Amino acid sequence: MPEEKREKEIRSDEVQEIMSHVPNWMIRWGISLIFVVIAMFLFVSWLIKYPDVINGTVELTTVEPPIKLVSKNSGEIEYIYFSNNSDVKKGDVIVTLNNLLTVEAKEQLELITTDISNCINETNSKCIGLADYQIIDSSISFGVIQNDYSNLIKSITEYQNLVNENNVGFNIKNLKQQINNNTILRSVSYQQLNTSKSQLNNAEDKFSSDRILYDKGVISKMKFYEEEKAYINSKNEVENLKKSTIQNSITITDLEKQLNDLEFNYNQKRKSLIQDIKNYLSIISNAITNWDMNYQIIAPIDGKLTYLDQLNEKKYLEAGKELFAVIPNNQEYIGHVKIPKQGYGKVLKSQTVRMKFDNFPFYEYGQLNGVVTDISLIPNEDTYLISVKLSNGLISSYKKEFMFTPEMTGRAEIITEDLRLLDRIFNRFRKIFKN
């Protein structure tokens, strides 16, 4: 009975109406729609990248960093020789400060000292030597170097007086002539001595012969005494000539000593004055170098000059203030990234780094990309320093070229793992299941 009742209910009009009704699209396509949504979610999760990054600050510089130039002394700007963003060469003068020694006076002093140095070395075609150097009567004041310049001119004057003084030259010439005359006289005395020695030999032979004849009574006593006297005279003459010859030698030796002393004193005085002149030249050269360092700002390398302050002539500068930077030409750019200790161990060489700089808004200029090239081993004030080489130079991800300025700063992202969103979801599930 109950089965008949249930069959009757199933065949009722209400049940037949429900079973014959076609379901709407939600019921018919619901499962398919859910599958499509899940598939799209998985696809988007795979498409979207959500890398693991470590954030830090970055400063962009060059392998050879820009050199900042400061004023070593306070003072008013006298000349500015280069404008902002000009190309400069090593040794170019950029700025000169006003001081007691003007640029014109300094340049003239350099010419004078160079001319004097050439005259000392006898390499200047304008003069045979320092003795003929024409002292420049300059009316220009050389400021703090004026005293050294005056001492230099004084030493040159004393040198010229010594070299060109007739008395010293005359005395030297006179002594040389006396030595020459006495040498000739001694030579003549030697000749006379040789002749007298020959005559003495003859007289001695004749005296010996006469002695024999006298002993035999052949010649008279008077005749013998006359021959003896002639022999003695010849002997005395030889002795006198020997004495004269020795006296000439003594005289020559004495004159040579006088000449040697005179020349020695002369040369010593001359060398002393030359050394004084060289010392004053060196002092002036050092003073000019110090002047260049203290009152001029000079480019230390080739590169592009960048102003770090608003500068113009007559502006007063304070000592120690940074005024310019010289950026080396054709340099490779490098980024220095500072990161915290957290996550430091995940940073490896060759990892990608994305850098966004404050000077160039990211939404307009894009970012610069690079790779990690070096990692510091020791932290500095709780941060580690990472060196980054730029992949495309200053060309950004938006294909725009950044204009480099010294010490550009910004934010950096070091990509330690280049993950997708899908990887992160699965990593979450994997972490849950492991727990």
Percentage of the residues of the chain whose pLDDT score is greater than 90:
11
How big is the chain by its Cα radius of gyration, in Å?
A: 55
The DSSP secondary-structure symbol of 144 reads G
- Report which of 391, 326, 256 is spatially closest to residue 88, judged by C-alpha positions: 326
- Contact criterion met (CB below 8 Å) for 270 and 163: yes
**Position of tokens 């110090």?**
290
Rounded Cα–Cα distance for residues 119 and 97 (Å): 32
Q: Helix (H, G, I), strand (E, B), or coil: what is residue 374? A: strand
Q: What is the DSSP string of 74-121?
A: -EEEEEE---TT-EE-TT-EEEEE--SS-HHHHHHHHHHHHHHHHHHT
Rounded Cα–Cα distance for residues 115 and 232 (Å): 73
Region of poorest pLDDT, from 81-95, 177-191, 418-432: 418-432
More confident: 1 or 164:
164
Residue 358 main-chain phi, psi, to 5 deg = -65, -35
Region of poorest pLDDT, from 47-51, 285-289, 366-370: 47-51
Longest dimension (CA), the chain: 221
- Contact criterion met (CB below 8 Å) for 306 and 134: no
- Average pLDDT estimate for 258-272: 83
- Average pLDDT estimate for 345-360: 90
| pLDDT of amino acid 367 | 92
Residue 189 main-chain phi, psi, to 5 deg = -60, -40
Which range, 191-200, 323-332, 356-365, has the best average confidence (pLDDT)?
356-365
| pLDDT of amino acid 356 | 93
| pLDDT of amino acid 126 | 47
Region of poorest pLDDT, from 236-245, 283-292, 349-358, 371-380: 236-245
| pLDDT of amino acid 262 | 78
- Average pLDDT estimate for 166-176: 76
Average pLDDT along the chain: 78
| pLDDT of amino acid 325 | 87
Q: How confident is the model at residue 368 (pLDDT cuts 50, 70, 90)?
A: very high
CA distances from 320 to 142, 167, 309 (A): 26, 59, 13
More confident: 37 or 160:
160
| pLDDT of amino acid 124 | 45
More confident: 34 or 56:
56
Percentage of the residues of the chain whose pLDDT score is greater than 70:
75
Q: Give the torsion through C-alpha atoms of 196, 199, 204, 210, to 10 deg.
A: -140
Per-residue model confidence as pLDDT tens digits over 193-247: 677 777 767 766 676 776 777 666 667 767 766 776 777 777 777 777 777 778 8
**Position of tokens 């599958």?**
35
- Report which secondary-structure segment, H or E, holds 27: helix 25-47
- Is residue 9 scored above 70 in pLDDT? no
Domains and CATH numbers, the chain: 52-63+329-434 (2.40.30.170), 99-290 (1.10.287)
- Average pLDDT estimate for 255-276: 84
Region of poorest pLDDT, from 112-126, 283-297, 362-376, 379-393: 112-126
- Contact criterion met (CB below 8 Å) for 242 and 183: no
Strand order in the sheet with 75-80: 296-298, 93-97, 75-80, 316-317
**Which alpha helices (H) appear in 121-220, and where do they start and end?**
146-164, 166-216
